[in-house]
C-alpha cells in the first residue's frame, strides 16, 4: 500500500459516514436524503469527506463519536467522475494523517446552498449511491 496520495482508481469504492440520529437514511425505504451530502459550514472548508475502501474497512469508516450509530453510504469513484464530481486524495487532515481520507472539493463550505452544490447532492443521493450499510455503533 502507498501513503494515501496515490490517485483514486475508477473502480475504487468510497464511503460516506451518515449519523443515524439525523434521519437522513430511511432503512425501511432504502432512501438516503440529499442532506447527507450537504457540506458543513465549518468542517468542510476544502471539501466533503469520504473514506477510501483501499485503506479502511466499512466498519472503520463508520466509526464516529462513542455511543453513536452511523450508516455508511457506498459509492464507486468512476461513477462520481462520470457525473462531473471530482474526488481527490487528501490524507493530511486537521486531525492528523489518514491515508483513507478523500474529499469532493466541489462540495465545500463556500459552495453550500448553491444550485451546483444542491444538484450534486441530489445526484449523490438519488443516482450514485450504490448502497447504504449499517447502522454501526461506535463503542
pLDDT in tens, 117-134: 999 999 999 999 999 999
Distances (CA, A) of 6 to 45, 53, 72, 121: 22, 13, 23, 26
Residue 51 domain-assigned (yes or no)? yes
User: Among all chains, which residue has been given the C-alpha cell 451518515?
Assistant: 18
Residue 77 CA to residue 11 CA, distance in Å, equals: 6
Q: What is the DSSP letter of 65?
A: S
Residue 4 domain-assigned (yes or no)? no
Q: pTM to 2 decimals?
A: 0.95
Residue 8 domain-assigned (yes or no)? no
Q: What is the pLDDT of residue 2?
A: 63
The answer, yes or no, to whether residue 55 has pLDDT greater than 90, is yes
pLDDT digits (tens, 9 = 90+) for 28-54: 999 999 999 999 999 999 999 999 999
Strands (E), the chain: 13-19, 25-26, 31-32, 48-52, 69-76, 88-89, 92-93, 96-97, 101-104, 131-137
Contact between 72 and 15 under an 8 Å Cβ cutoff? The reply is yes
pLDDT digits (tens, 9 = 90+) for 62-79: 999 999 999 999 999 999
Residue 3 domain-assigned (yes or no)? no
- 2-11, 49-58, 61-70: which has the minimum mean pLDDT? 2-11
Q: How many domains does the chain have?
A: 1
Q: For residue 25, what are the domain limits?
A: 13-137
Residue 72 domain-assigned (yes or no)? yes
Residue 6 domain-assigned (yes or no)? no
The answer, yes or no, to whether residue 1 has pLDDT greater than 80, is no
Residue 5 domain-assigned (yes or no)? no
Task: Calculate the CA 4 to chain-centre distance.
Answer: 16
Residue 35 CA to residue 24 CA, distance in Å, equals: 7
Residue 19 domain-assigned (yes or no)? yes
pLDDT digits (tens, 9 = 90+) for 93-116: 888 899 999 999 999 999 999 999
Grouping H, G, I as helix, E, B as strand and the rest as coil, residue 116 is helix
Amino acid at each position: 500500500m502507498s501513503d494515501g496520495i496515490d490517485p483514486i482508481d475508477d473502480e475504487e469504492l468510497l464511503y460516506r459516514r451518515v449519523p443515524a440520529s439525523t434521519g437522513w437514511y430511511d432503512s425501511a425505504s432504502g432512501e438516503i436524503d440529499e442532506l447527507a451530502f450537504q457540506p458543513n459550514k465549518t468542517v468542510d472548508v476544502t471539501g466533503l469527506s469520504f473514506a477510501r475502501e483501499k485503506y479502511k474497512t466499512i466498519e472503520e469508516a463508520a466509526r464516529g463519536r462513542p455511543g453513536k450509530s452511523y450508516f455508511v453510504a457506498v459509492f464507486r469513484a468512476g461513477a462520481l467522475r462520470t457525473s462531473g464530481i471530482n474526488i481527490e486524495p487528501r490524507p493530511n487532515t486537521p486531525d492528523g494523517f489518514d491515508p483513507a481520507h478523500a474529499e469532493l472539493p466541489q462540495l465545500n463550505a463556500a459552495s453550500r446552498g448553491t444550485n451546483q452544490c444542491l444538484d450534486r447532492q441530489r445526484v449523490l443521493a438519488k443516482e450514485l449511491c450504490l448502497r447504504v450499510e449499517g447502522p454501526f455503533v461506535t463503542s
